[in-house]
Structure 1
Amino acid sequence: MALKDILPGKLGFGAAPLGNMFRDIPEAEAQATVEAAWDDGIRYFDNAPFYGAGLAEIRMGQALAGKPRGDYVISTKVGRIVLEEIDEDARDNGEKGDVFAHGRPNKVANDYSEDATYRSIEDSLKRLKTDYIDIAFVHDVAQDFYGDEWLDVFENARKGAFRALDRMRDEGVIKAWGLGVNRVEPIELLLNLDEPRPDAFLLAGRYTLLDHDRALQRVTPMVAERGLGIVVGGPYSSGALVGGPNFEYAPATPAILAKVAAIKAIADAHGISMKAAGLQFALANPAVAAVIPGASRPGRIAEDSRALAERIPADFWRELREAGLVNPAAPLPISD
C-alpha cells in the first residue's frame, strides 16, 4: 500500500518533544499539545521508544485514549528496547548527545534482531494503548548514532528487523515499514537491495530548506520512481530555521545562522513566515508524503496549520534560487 494512501493528511505530529526533548515538559502541557493537534484535525502521530525511554509513547497513549482508533494513524519505531532497569551511566546517543536527558531514567538497549523487533512492537502497543501499529520504522541504523560501525548494525537489521517487518506487513499486522533515520545513506543502501521490500521512509533533518542536497541527489528520485514515500521529520532543522539556537541537535554553526538570516531576509521582504517556507518546500517534492514538525506547546500546532495554508508568491522561491539558497534541482511549490 502506498504511503500516501495510508496517511490521512500532509501534516502530522512528531512526538519527540513529548519525550522531554531538550527540556522537562509538564505532563499537563504535553497532554494539551496532543489534544490541540487532534482538535486542529491532525490524525497522523509519529513516535518511538527512544523518545524519552518510552515517555513520549506513554504520554501519547494517554492523550489518544478514547479516540476512535480507526480515525488516526500511528507510526513508531523498532531497534530500541526500553528496559525496567534504571540507567546509572551516561548514555551514548551519538550525535544526538543528551537530547533526552530529561526523559525516563530507564535503560534503553539497542537491538535490531527479529525477536527484539517483535518485542519492541508489543511494548509500543502497551505504551500507546492501542492494538495495532500502522507504520513501523527501523530507527537510527546510520552514522549519526553508530559511527563507523553503522554498516554492521545495518546488516544485523537486514537479517533481523527488516525480515520481521516484511513478514508482519505481508501478514497484515502492520500496513507498512521502512527506515527512520537522520542520514540518506541507509535509505540509499536499502533501496538498492533486492530484498526485503520497504514501503516508506522517515527522513529527519535531511530534506529541509537548510539541508537537502544529498537527499535530492541520492534518494528522493528513487523513492518517487518506485511509488514509495518519505515522511519528513524535523522540517525546521531542530528549530534553527525558525529562529532556534539548535541545528541537528547541537548549537547552530555561524554558517547555518548566516543561511537562516539570508532566507529570513527574503521571507520578511515578502511577508512570509519561515514555518510556511520550510513546510511548503518539503512538501513540494513528489517523494514527500507528509511533514511531521514536533511540538511541545499547544500554540505551536495552530502555527503549523496556518503555515501550511499560507500563500507564498513565486517571486519568493525565485529569489531563493537566484541567491543560491536552494538547490537548482529542488522541486518548488507552484504559486500564483
Structure 2
Amino acid sequence: MSLSDILPGRLGFGTAPLGNMFRAIPGDEARATVEAAWDQGIRFYDTAPFYGAGLAETRLGEVLSARPRDSYVLSSKVGRVILDEHETAAPDFGEKGGLFAHGNPNKIVHEWTADATERSIEDSLKRLGTDRLDIVWVHDIAQDFHGDRWLSTFEQARTGAFRVLSRLREEGVIKAWGLGVNKTEPIELTLALDEPRPDGFLLAGRYTLLDHTHALQRLLPMAQEQGVDMVVGGPYSSGILAGGTHFEYQQAPPEIIERVGKLKTLTQRHGISIKAAALQFSLAHPATAAVIPGATRPSRITEDTAALNENIPTAFWTDLRTSGLISSTAPLPDNA
C-alpha cells in the first residue's frame, strides 16, 4: 500500500517542536497548537520518542486520544528507547545534541534491534494513549553516515527494525513503514535491498527550497521507479524559511542567510509568502505524498494552511528557476 493511499491529505503536522525544541513551550500552548491543527482539518500527525524524550508524544496524545481513532493517521518512530532513569551527563546526539535541551530529562538509548523496536512501539502507544500506529519510521539510522558506526547501525536496523516492521505490516498491525532520516544515502541503500521493502520514507530537510539537488539526482528517481512515496519533513529548513534563525538545527551561517534574503526578495516582488513558496515547492515533486511542517503556536498552523492554498503566479516559479535559486530539474507545481 502506498503512502498516498493511507494519508488523508497533503498537509500534516510534524510534532518535533512539541518536545520543547529550541525552547521551553508551555503545556497549554502546545495543547492549543495541536487543537488548532485539528480545527484546521489536519488529520495526519507525525511524532517520535526522541522529541523531548517522549514529551511530544505525550502532548500529542492528550489531544488526539479524545478524538475517534479512525478519523486521523498517526505515525511515530523507532530507534530510540526512553528509559525511566534520568540523564546525568550531556547526551551524545551528534548534530542534534542540544535540540531538546528543554525536553524531559529521561535517558535515551539508541537501538534498532527487534526487541528495542517492539518495546519502542509499546511505549509510544502508552504515551500517545492509543491502540495502534498507522505508520512507523525507522529513525535517524543516518546520523553517523560518514562515521565508523554507520554500517553496523544500518545492519542492526536491517536485521532488527526492518524485519519487525515488515512482519507487523503483514499482520495488519501497522499499515506501512519506512525510514525517517535527514540524509538520502540510507534510503537509497534500503531501496537497493531485495528485502525487507519499505512503503515510503520521511525525508527531513533534504527536499526544500534550500536543499534538494542531491535528492533529485539519485534518490527520487529510485523512489519513483519503485513506487515509493516521500513525506517531506522540515520544509522550512529548521525554521530559517519561516522567519526563524536556525538551519540544520544550528544557527544559520551567513551564506544561508544571504540565500534566504534573495528568496524573500523574490517572494515580496511577486506578493506571495515565503512559506507558500516553500510548501508548494516541496509538494510539487511527484513522489511527495505530504509535507509536515512543525509548529508551536496556533497562529503558525493558520499560516501553514493558508500557505498551502495560496495562489502563486507562474511568473514567480519562472523567476525562481532562472535566478538559479532552485535546480533547473526540480519539478514545479502543475499550474506553473
Shorter-normalised TM-score: what interval?
over 0.9
Structure 2 unaligned spans of 5+? none
SS across alignment from 2:232: strand
- Which residue of 1 is the match for residue 166 of structure 2? 166
Structure 1 unaligned spans of 5+? none
For residues 111-161 of structure 1, give each alpha carbon's deviation from its aligned partner in whole angstroms, at most 9, with x where no partner exists: 100011111111111111110100000000004588331221011100100
The code of the aligned residue for 2:305 comes to S
SS across alignment from 1:266: helix
- Which residue of 2 is the match for residue 184 of structure 1? 184
Distance 1:47 1:27 in 2: 16
- Which residue of 1 is the match for residue 238 of structure 2? 238
TM-score with structure 1 setting the length: 0.98
2:231 is equivalent to residue 207 of structure 1: no
TM-score with structure 2 setting the length: 0.98
1:312-327 → structure 2 map (5 Å cutoff)? 312-327=312-327
For residues 4-36 of structure 1, give each alpha carbon's deviation from its aligned partner in whole angstroms, at most 9, with x where no partner exists: 010000000000000000000000000000000
Aligned length: 336
- Which residue of 2 is the match for residue 30 of structure 1? 30
Residue identity (%): 65
Distance 1:317 1:170 in 2: 43
- Which residue of 2 is the match for residue 268 of structure 1? 268
1:242-257 → structure 2 map (5 Å cutoff)? 242-257=242-257
Quick check: 1:94–1:146 contact (8 Å CA) kept in 2? no
Distance 1:83 1:317 in 2: 48
Distance 1:49 1:156 in 2: 19
Q: CA deviation at 1:243?
A: 2.5
Distance 2:30 2:97 in 1: 23
2:309 is equivalent to residue 306 of structure 1: no
Distance 1:145 1:222 in 2: 20
Q: CA deviation at 1:64?
A: 1.1
For residues 203-222 of structure 1, give each alpha carbon's deviation from its aligned partner in whole angstroms, at most 9, with x where no partner exists: 00000011001111121111
- Which residue of 2 is the match for residue 129 of structure 1? 129
Distance 1:224 1:41 in 2: 29
Quick check: 1:22–1:100 contact (8 Å CA) kept in 2? yes
2:278 is equivalent to residue 278 of structure 1: yes
Distance 1:173 1:232 in 2: 24
Distance 1:213 1:132 in 2: 36
Which is worse superposed, 202-211 or 223-232? Answer: 223-232
Quick check: 1:49–1:124 contact (8 Å CA) kept in 2? yes
Quick check: 1:97–1:249 contact (8 Å CA) kept in 2? no
The code of the aligned residue for 2:299 comes to G
Q: CA deviation at 1:334?
A: 2.3
SS across alignment from 1:239: helix
Quick check: 1:13–1:42 contact (8 Å CA) kept in 2? yes
Q: CA deviation at 1:223?
A: 1.2
- Which residue of 1 is the match for residue 21 of structure 2? 21
